[in-house]
Each structure stands twice: as C-alpha cells, then as structure tokens.
Amino acid sequence: MGSMEEKLDEQLLILYASQTGNAMDAAERLGREAERRGCPSVSVLSIDEFQPSDLPNKEAVIFVVSTTGQGDNPDSMKGFWRFLLQKNLTRDWLKGVHYAVFGLGDSSYQKYNFVAKKLDKRLSDLGAMAIIERGLGDDQHPSGYEGALDPWMSALWNMLYLKNHKLLPNGSEFVAPDATLIDQPRVRIIYHDAEEGVPPLSTSTDLKYLETQIEMARSMTPGKFSGKNRPDCFLKMTKNHLLSRADSGKDVRHLEFEAVSSSIDYEVGDVLEVLPGQNPAAVDAFIQRCNLNPESYITVQPRDKENHGFLNPSLFPVKLKSFVELTMDVASASPKRYFFEVMSYFAIAEHEKERLQYFASPEGRDDLYKYNQKERRTVLEVLEDFPSVQMPFEWLVQLVPPLKTRAFSISSSHSAHPNQVHLTVSVVSWTTPYKRTRAGLCSSWLASLDPQQRVFIPAWFNKGSLPPPPPSLPLILVGPGTGCAPFHGFVEERALQSKKVPTAPVLFFFGCRNEKDDFLYKDFWLSHSEKNGVLSEDKGGGFYVAFSRDQPKKVYVQHKMRENSEKIWSLLTQGASVYVAGSANKMPSDVLSAFEEIVSKESGVPKEAALRWIRTLEKAGKYHVEAWS
C-alpha cells in the first residue's frame, strides 16, 4: 500500500454535489474548518468542475453529496458518476488515495442517502482507502444534517492527522483564532457612476432592459446559480383559475401564460422554471435595515484573482436595489449557520454577540435549528432580531441565500396551445411550531398575480424526467394531486394525435382527498374517458380516481391500481410505459410496491422476480418517476 506521503498532490480536496445548496454549504464549512486547523492547502469545488481522471493523483479527497428524488444523483454529479462506473477502471485504480464521504439525505425516503452509500462503495471497490466511516446527515434529525456533520467532522480531523501530519501540521487540536478568518469575504463590490449602468430604457425596450439586468445581476454571483442566467423568454399571465373548492383549505390553481418576448417551444413532460418576484416592501426594509443606498450602481467581483476569468468584462453595473431583488432571497429562505457566525463578529451589543456565538457553536446547534430552520426565519427577520449587527454588504452578498428559480411540471401540450404554457400550482402554506403562518414564495406570488396587470415573468424551459411518448406507446399514468399536471398535457397531446393516427390505450390513476374539494380537472378527465376518448375503456384505456377521505377507510391510487391489476398487466405485456408523478414522500415507493404485487399476482412469479422485472423496465427507459418534495 503506497503511503500518503508518496502521493503527488499535497492538497486537501473537497468535492460537493449539491441540488439545493446544502451540500455546498456543508463543503464550504469543511473547507473553513480545515483552514482554521492550519491545513496548508484546501480546495473546495463543485464535482462538475473537477476532472475525474485526476482522482488517482490526489492525496486526500472529501466528498459531500446529497441524494435527490428517488435516490438520484444531483445533476452536477451525473458525469462524474458515469466516469466512475467505467468497466475498464481496475481494482487498484485509486490505490493510495484516501477519501471520506459525507451524505445529505432524509430518512423518511425509501432510498435514504443512497448516493453517499453508492459512492463510498465504488471508491472502495476501486482501491481507495476510507479515512473514516462515511457520515450520513439526516433532515429528520432535530438539528438537520449538522446533527451528524459535527461529530463526523471532529473524528475526521483526528483520523486525517494520524494518516498524514502534513495535512494538519499543527496537530488535530489546533484551531486558529477566528478573527484572522473574518477579514475577507469572497467577493468585493465596486461602486460605479449611474452612466456606466445597464443602458437605460430610452435606448431599448422594457424587456431587453429587464433581460440584461437579470443576466448581469445573476452572472455576478459566482458559484451561486447553475444553468443559464439569461431567461429563455418572458411570460405574461392570461388566466388564473382556482381549481380546488374555495373554502376547502387547499389552494390549487390552473395558470395560463403566453410568451411576450420570443416564441416558445417545449414538449409534454418538460419543466418550466420561473424566477419569482419578491415582496417590494421586504426588499425596501432589507435595504434600509442594512443602511444601503438602493440607487447606487454596483458590480460584484470574486476577490481571489484566480477566479477572475469567471467574470465577463462586458458586465454592466446594475442598480443595487435590482441586484437584491433579482439575486438575494431576503424574505423567504432561512440563512445558514455561517451567517450567524459572521454576524457575531459584527454585533456591537454584548448580549447579541453572546447569543450569536452560542448559536454558531456545537452546543447551540439544536437551539439554532429551532429558532432558524424550524421557524423558517428569513434573513430580514434575523437581522431585525439583532439590531446592533451591521454587516458589510460584501458579506451579505456572499451569505444571503440566493433567489432560486422554482420548477413546475408543464400541464399543457404545445401543439394544443401554440405560444402558451399552462401550470397547475398548489399554493404552499404551513404553520411553524410557534404558530406563525408561512407561504411558499413562488406559488403564493404566482397565485397573487392578476392577468389584467402587466407583469413580466422570467422563465426557462428544461427537460424533466418524463420523456414525451409517441402516439403508438400504451401508457400507464399515476398522478395523485398536482402530480396530474404533466398528464393533463399528455392527454391533450394524445387527443390531438388521435384525430390523425391510431393511438395506443392510456390508463390514468388519479387521487385526491375529496370529490367536491380537490378533484382537479374533473370535467377534462371525464370528457376524455367518454366514448372513443383517449382515456375510454372502449379504446382499451380507463380513468380511475381514488378519493382518500370520502369514506372511513382511506383509499389511495395504489388501491385503485390493485383493483385493476388485470388491465395493468395486459398493457404491460403490450409494452406499455409507466409514468409516475407527484409528491416525493411515500407515494413513489407505495406505487412501486403496488406494481410489484400486480406483476407477481398476474404472472405467477415470486415478489423478488417481479421487482427484478420492474427494474428491467426502468433500465429500458419504460418506468419514469418525477417527484417533488
């Protein structure tokens, strides 16, 4: 076994694969802690910025990976994982490389921390040596993933020191004084004269101006946003229609938009991403609380010179207020733990400093989780709770959670509605442990829009995980609640196709609580299941709905599936594809179990064989799941 000393690269490399930003935060924290402990060289990178073929040359690599959906890799990790699975990599390809894996997951999901477990096994199969047993962070823990990260991290430093003194030359107990680490945020802000700003309206249209502003502001925050900064198009709402019963306690809407800038193009099963508008009063309150001048023009640049190539020299300065509105989530997302740590340095009142230091310490972790994440305290509320803190704008730009786009399954067929796109949106709201009402930023903003107003909505079109089916493919669709959204588009499209060519049967299983409260698109489904409709029994299809609360015993989509097991099996044997969409919690695994039982019962094979058969269906691209939490 080659000792660590012989390896080429004396650097501690931390690679993260993040979907929502938590793995990035955890990785950055590991990087800060390593620096604090005197590690001479630390590099923190998103896994897609790293060349996987370089892995054998690395001394020590720490992976921080989250699991998304049904045990899936985050998008940024897909290429890296494909590389690792290559057949030609030998059992000693990573000989002498030392690694550690920390996973972020949620134990209420069936495939809890699946990505971290798979990665750990694969690295070890390729000959790498684990520095420490993998750590598994759990969202269900009283203090979130940090409940597992803290003890794992302290064990990691001890083991790292034992394996290689050079990585921690001052010993595993050494910690640098905090003051030395707070002097430099990662970004710097340059103030400009108004004339240098994004060209004003007189020389361009409103939309061009807005597009440039969004692109400039979002490309100035390095590392925060994945994907494109320039919107694919702007949408204007033309219809906002309540689907659920008005006083049912649920608020589900059918929203229609048309493109106002460029023409739009998408397929059924695609996903629309929307950049939500923030409450103007909250943005103003944040700017005032932080003593900022909303009218000043700024560019934001990375402080470290190596990163300089990241910035486009053709950036126009943007107005500070626009920058906050378009990139900083000041009034819906909760700040991360490091925000409290940095705040403690800038607190003038002693009692505030003490409370913030306690929140940032391992002892205060559970209390911080209760105060912050459980209550979904916003950045603005936290700053208002600690009035003596005046944080420099550089630190705020770095630490305020980024304003993210929100993704929705498209519920229309482009062929049926040229230049339009429709969404089915459930307005998210909940009550915190201290009985405060909270609402989802994007869903409540969209629901509040009036089609009579001229509001331009920046939008991006992306492929989802439900590929558009050809008309000759039999379909089994399972979409309870707003999971029916993509299938509304599927049925619209197939109804159009059936006018020109023969189409294959479609079985659709829908579920909701009550027939009178939230039977979404009732008339639409029923009209298509009448004589010769694409969901009709005389066409070999069918529409089945489960009302979970309309009788003493709860009935869900999987019960309706079992009742129709012969029909399902008959379509599966004809080569049908299965599509499942809806809430990520238990539904996808319950539906999978129902399919297992049906295959086992109808074909007379044991459960294990039935599961293997369904796994083959998945591999062949005939079992698709789109689930959201």
Which of 24-38, 127-141, 175-189, 317-331 shows the lowest mean pLDDT across its residues? Answer: 175-189
Comparison of pLDDT for 199 and 461, the residue scoring more: 461
pLDDT for 204 beyond 60 = no
**Per-residue model confidence as pLDDT tens digits over 243-252:** 998 888 889 9
Question: Binding site, residues?
Answer: 18-23, 66-69, 104-113, 139, 376, 406-409, 440-443, 482, 548-549, 554-558, 590, 628
3-state helix, strand, coil split of the chain in percent (to 5) is 40, 20, 40
Q: Do 373 and 161 contact (CB within 8 A), yes or no? A: no
- The residue ranges of DSSP E strands in 263-405, in sequence order, are 271-274, 297-302, 318-319
Band (181; pLDDT cuts 50, 70, 90) = low
Residues β-bridged to residue 13: 43, 61
What local confidence, expressed as pLDDT, does residue 207 receive? Answer: 85
Band (310; pLDDT cuts 50, 70, 90) = very low
CA distance between the termini of the chain? 44
Quote the distance between the C-alpha of residue 284 and its chain's center: 28
**H, E, C per residue of 302-341:** ECCHHHHHHCCCCCCCEEHHHHHHHHECCCCCCCCHHHHH
Give mean pLDDT, residues 197-211: 66
Q: What percent of the chain has pLDDT over 70?
A: 91
Quick one: fold of 4-180?
Rossmann fold (3.40.50)
**Per-residue model confidence as pLDDT tens digits over 414-450:** 999 999 999 999 998 888 888 888 888 999 999 999 9
Question: What tokens were used for 503?
Answer: 């189409």
What local confidence, expressed as pLDDT, does residue 444 receive? Answer: 93
Question: Binding site for FAD, residues?
Answer: 376, 406-409, 440-443, 628
The 3-state DSSP class for residue 429 equals strand
What local confidence, expressed as pLDDT, does residue 561 receive? Answer: 93
Comparison of pLDDT for 109 and 500, the residue scoring more: 500
List the chain domain ranges: 4-180, 185-464, 475-628
Question: What tokens were used for 70?
Answer: 């049904």
Band (166; pLDDT cuts 50, 70, 90) = low
What local confidence, expressed as pLDDT, does residue 176 receive? Answer: 63
Band (201; pLDDT cuts 50, 70, 90) = very low
Q: Is 280 exposed, middle or buried (0-12, 13-18, 19+ CB in 10 A)?
A: exposed
Query: What's the full length of the chain, in residues?
Result: 629
For the domain covering 475-628, report its CATH number: 3.40.50.80
Which of 154-168, 174-188, 286-300 holds the top average pLDDT?
286-300
Band (141; pLDDT cuts 50, 70, 90) = confident
Band (301; pLDDT cuts 50, 70, 90) = confident
Mean pLDDT, the chain, as a whole number? 88
**Per-residue model confidence as pLDDT tens digits over 552-584:** 888 788 999 999 999 999 999 999 999 999 987
pLDDT for 226 beyond 60 = no
Two domains, one topology: 4-180 and 475-628: yes
Q: How far apart (Å, rounded) are the C-alpha atoms in residues 613 and 345?
A: 59
Q: How far apart (Å, rounded) are the C-alpha atoms in residues 397 and 414?
A: 39
What local confidence, expressed as pLDDT, does residue 199 receive? Answer: 60
**Per-residue model confidence as pLDDT tens digits over 42-89:** 889 999 989 999 999 998 999 999 998 778 888 889 999 999 999 999
What local confidence, expressed as pLDDT, does residue 11 receive? Answer: 81
Give mean pLDDT, residues 367-395: 93
Band (222; pLDDT cuts 50, 70, 90) = low
Residue 340 CA: distances (Å) to CA of 29, 266, 396, 399: 13, 43, 12, 10
Question: Binding site for FMN, residues?
Answer: 18-23, 66-69, 104-113, 139
Q: Do 299 and 315 contact (CB within 8 A), yes or no? A: yes
Residue 540 CA: distances (Å) to CA of 85, 103, 507: 41, 45, 8
Question: Binding site for NADP(+), residues?
Answer: 482, 548-549, 554-558, 590
**Per-residue model confidence as pLDDT tens digits over 469-512:** 999 999 999 999 999 999 999 999 999 999 999 999 999 999 98
Which of 82-91, 227-236, 527-536, 616-625 shows the lowest mean pLDDT across its residues? Answer: 227-236
Q: What percent of the chain has pLDDT over 90?
A: 59
Question: What tokens were used for 30?
Answer: 């590991």
What local confidence, expressed as pLDDT, does residue 197 receive? Answer: 64
**Per-residue model confidence as pLDDT tens digits over 241-290:** 999 988 888 899 999 999 997 788 999 999 999 999 999 999 999 999 99
Quick one: fold of 185-464?
NADPH-cytochrome p450 Reductase; Chain A, domain 3 (1.20.990)
Q: Is 270 exposed, middle or buried (0-12, 13-18, 19+ CB in 10 A)?
A: buried
pLDDT for 537 beyond 60 = yes
What local confidence, expressed as pLDDT, does residue 220 receive? Answer: 84
Q: Do 479 and 269 contact (CB within 8 A), yes or no? A: no
